């Protein structure tokens, strides 16, 4: 789906999230998958508008984040938990206590991976994510699944690509303060969601979108796993769509 303005992209994406929750939720408690980053901010704003117009209600919704940094406490202002509380919970009325985020702290690698395994189990116990909101990296990453990630991967510890650390350095006091590792939902975990709604805008995403939507299914472009999903919705502006045939 292609919107002609940022506002239209956000509205189309929000409509598809709400329709997906209705379809895949089937009257059960809502379970929404959340992405950080700039791409979905307009979508969250539209969902907030839907709440204020009584077209949506997230006050009892469970939220599952895609990823979290390792090595900073979840109270750190740049942790994805805090980012989601500020940019999503406060905007759409999802309660912070109903927000689940992979655990990036622990006494050992084994403890962090055990928490990652428990995170996948918690998603399953909640009945699965009904709609997963996604952005895509310029290199095709989904969550922190950088190129080379296994297509069936589950929530696990990953090293951040140096490009991703450089991109995110603007949020920290310097690149040396950017964590080197993270915990991310795997591509297989993401594919388990009932519907995927990916938002991408700007010419910088055009190559990644072309590779994800029309390229070969390949770990070289993690976003290409969208092709395996039976209910994946991709919402773009003209610039992000410009390299599609």
Task: Report, as residue numbers or ranges, the catalytic residues.
Answer: 67, 139, 141, 146
Can you tell me whether residue 186 is helix, strand or coil?
coil
Q: Which is nearer to ligand F6R, 22 or 242 (CB)?
A: 242
In sequence order, what are the residues at sequence separation of 6 or more whose Cβ sits closer than 8 angstroms to the Cβ of residue 174?
none
Give the C-alpha separation, 189 to 169, whole Å: 27
* Residue 224 Cβ vs ligand F6R, minimum distance, rounded to whole Å: 14
Give the C-alpha separation, 86 to 195, whole Å: 25
Q: Which is nearer to ligand F6R, 119 or 144 (CB)?
A: 144
Rg (CA), the chain: 17
* Residue 52 Cβ vs ligand F6R, minimum distance, rounded to whole Å: 24
- Closest-approach residue to ligand F6R (CB): 135
Contact footprint for ligand F6R (CB under 6 A):
35-39, 66-67, 135-137, 141-144
Give the C-alpha separation, 154 to 116, whole Å: 9
Helix 41-52 × helix 6-25 angle, to 10°: 60
Can you tell me whether residue 221 is helix, strand or coil?
strand
Q: Which is nearer to ligand F6R, 7 or 60 (CB)?
A: 7
Q: Which is nearer to ligand F6R, 137 or 194 (CB)?
A: 137
E-assigned strands of 66-124?
A: 67-69, 99-100
* Residue 107 Cβ vs ligand F6R, minimum distance, rounded to whole Å: 25
* Residue 135 Cβ vs ligand F6R, minimum distance, rounded to whole Å: 3
Give the C-alpha separation, 10 to 185, whole Å: 24
Can you tell me whether residue 106 is helix, strand or coil?
coil
Q: Which is nearer to ligand F6R, 38 or 152 (CB)?
A: 38
Give the C-alpha separation, 137 to 35, whole Å: 12
């Amino acid at each position: 789906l292609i919107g002609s303005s940022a506002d239209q992209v956000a509205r189309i994406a929000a409509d598809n999230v709400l329709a997906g929750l209705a379809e895949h939720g089937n009257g059960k408690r809502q379970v929404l998958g959340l992405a950080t980053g700039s791409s979905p901010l307009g979508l969250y704003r539209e969902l907030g508008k839907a709440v204020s117009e009584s077209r949506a209600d997230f006050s009892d919704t469970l939220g599952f984040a895609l990823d979290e940094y390792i090595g900073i406490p979840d109270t750190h202002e740049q942790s994805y938990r805090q980012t989601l509380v500020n940019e999503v919970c406060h905007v759409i009325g999802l309660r912070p206590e109903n927000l689940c985020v992979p655990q990036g702290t622990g006494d050992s690698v084994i403890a962090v991976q055990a928490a990652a395994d428990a995170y996948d189990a918690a998603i399953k116990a909640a009945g699965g994510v009904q709609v997963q909101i996604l952005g895509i990296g310029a290199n095709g990453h989904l969550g922190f699944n950088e190129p080379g990630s296994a297509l069936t991967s589950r929530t696990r510890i990953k090293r951040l690509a140096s490009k991703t650390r450089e991109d995110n350095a603007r949020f920290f006091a310097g690149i040396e303060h950017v964590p080197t590792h993270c915990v991310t939902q795997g591509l297989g975990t993401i594919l388990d969601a009932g519907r995927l709604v990916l938002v991408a805008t700007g010419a910088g995403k055009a190559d990644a979108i072309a590779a994800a939507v029309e390229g070969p299914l390949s770990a070289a472009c993690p976003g290409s796993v969208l092709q395996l999903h039976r209910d994946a919705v991709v919402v773009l502006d003209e610039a992000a769509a410009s390299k599609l045939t």
